Amino acid sequence: MEQVLQQIDQYKKEIDQWVIGSAEDLENYRIRFLGTKGIVKALFGEMKNIPAGEKRSFGQVLNDFKQLAEAKYEDNKGLTDGKDKDTPGMDLTLPGDAFTLGTRHPLSLVRNRIVSIYQRLGFAVAEGPEIEDDWHNFTALNMPENHPARDMQDTFYIQRNPDWVLRTHTSSVQARVLETSPLPVRIICPGRVYRNETVSARANCFFHQVEGLYVDKHVSFADLKQTLYFFVKEMFGEHTRVRFRPSYFPFTEPSAEMDISCTVCGGTGCSLCKHTGWVEILGCGMVHPQLLENLGIDSTQYTGFAFGMGVERIAQLNYRVNDLRLYAQNDLRFLQQFTSST
């Protein structure tokens, strides 16, 4: 027993002094100490020669020795194969993996700005489904079947009789909210809409709108104008000029379209405003009494205003993007130009 213990001390010194500088050194070390015919194995074989009373303490010595031999092997493995990144074998001067943050889509940035301006005026956000029934997209909005205004928008039909469509405008949310919510209602509804258009730089088969609706007692056209003036000043700046033109929408009476002075040329005329100095940004009007009645609201007691604007158009005025298709192509070179945290 005494002899074996001395032998083990020798081996410990040998392990200590063994220099491992290459894969070959490491392999030689493994064969000598840890291999199937190696020293650790052989020492365990000595166990049978140890008197019963001393087996326990000898076993302890052997286990310690085994751990020592294995630890040196494990510590040096990384040095030679370079795979173990926790060991000194790792090259800390190598460049790290790039971690790039995403950016918000320009249309999301613009939508968020629009929404936050109206929120400051007390408008709450409401949303509705993109697949819509005939009632909410058309009929309730004073466009019964065969009404010529249905042709103003080329509709994608999902199903006929009963009709299900991809909503052609966010005005459908007006109908959904008025049907269910107690009055007064003051909402804005951002969302995607669809139209069966030939795709070009100026038209896409889907785009985005923000709808506004305010219904209460004594709401007037003056309220509508003040609300929109505030929006324009916040969105495009103090000096932007505004004009209303009479227009027609089935769901409003009277109806108007609102233009702002061109943000690119300031009103002197350029290609964006087709040399008129003005750019149309939204449709609006006083909610048609028939629409209120369709949705169970007494139109002798309540009035309201509504407006709807295209997000792409507002984004175009902000960013001067001249091809609508860019918004939907997911080209990072385009998308990464609009960084902002909001």
Q: Is residue 65 within the footprint of ligand DAH (CB under 6 A)? A: no
> Which of positions 153-192 make contact with ligand DAH (CB under 6 A)?
169, 171
| Options 23-31, 78-86, 301-309, 318-326: segment touching ligand DAH (CB under 6 A) | 301-309
Q: Which is nearer to ligand DAH, 137 or 240 (CB)?
A: 137
Identify the residue among 190, 191, 267, 285 touching ligand DAH (CB under 6 A): 285
Q: How many alpha carbons lie under 13 Å from residue 143 in its C-beta half-sphere?
A: 21
Distance CA 124, CA 167 (A): 21
Report whether 227 contacts 121 (CB < 8 A).
yes
Q: Is residue 128 within the footprint of ligand DAH (CB under 6 A)? A: no
By Cβ distance, which residue is nearest to ligand DAH?
308
Distance CA 31, CA 324 (A): 70
Contacts of residue 290, Cβ cutoff 8 Å, sequence gap at least 6: 142, 299
Distance CA 218, CA 255 (A): 18
Q: Which is nearer to ligand DAH, 84 or 197 (CB)?
A: 197
| Backbone angles phi and psi of 341, in degrees to 5 | -90, 0
Report whether 255 contacts 285 (CB < 8 A).
yes
Q: Which is nearer to ligand DAH, 106 or 283 (CB)?
A: 283
| Options 10-18, 179-187, 236-244, 279-287: segment touching ligand DAH (CB under 6 A) | 279-287
CB of 331 to ligand DAH, least distance (A): 28
Q: Which is nearer to ligand DAH, 178 or 284 (CB)?
A: 284
Identify the residue among 279, 306, 317, 321 touching ligand DAH (CB under 6 A): 306
Distance CA 166, CA 111 (A): 20
Annotated ligand binding at 127? The verdict is no
Q: Is residue 143 within the footprint of ligand DAH (CB under 6 A)? A: no
Long-range (24+ apart) CB contacts under 8 A made by 52-57 are 54/1
Q: Which is nearer to ligand DAH, 171 or 227 (CB)?
A: 171
Distance CA 312, CA 210 (A): 10
Instruction: State whether the Cα torsion 259-260-263-267 is positive or negative.
Output: positive
CB of 131 to ligand DAH, least distance (A): 17
> Which of positions 207-266 make contact with ligand DAH (CB under 6 A)?
211, 249, 252
Distance CA 133, CA 129 (A): 9
| Options 11-19, 68-76, 228-236, 280-288: segment touching ligand DAH (CB under 6 A) | 280-288
Q: Which is nearer to ligand DAH, 29 or 251 (CB)?
A: 251
Identify the residue among 110, 273, 284, 321 touching ligand DAH (CB under 6 A): 284
| Options 29-37, 76-84, 300-308, 317-325: segment touching ligand DAH (CB under 6 A) | 300-308
Q: What is the DSSP string of 208-229?
A: EEEEEEEEETT--HHHHHHHHH
In the chain, how long is the greatest CA-to-CA distance? 113
Residue type for 295, please?
L
Report whether 125 contacts 190 (CB < 8 A).
yes
Identify the residue among 283, 312, 314, 315 touching ligand DAH (CB under 6 A): 283
Q: Which is nearer to ligand DAH, 65 or 307 (CB)?
A: 307
Distance CA 288, CA 285 (A): 8
Identify the residue among 106, 267, 304, 308 touching ligand DAH (CB under 6 A): 308
Report whether 304 contacts 285 (CB < 8 A).
no
Q: Which is nearer to ligand DAH, 40 or 287 (CB)?
A: 287
Residues in the annotated binding site for Mg(2+): 253
* Residues contributing to the site for ligand DAH (CB under 6 A): 169, 171, 211, 249, 252, 283-285, 306-308
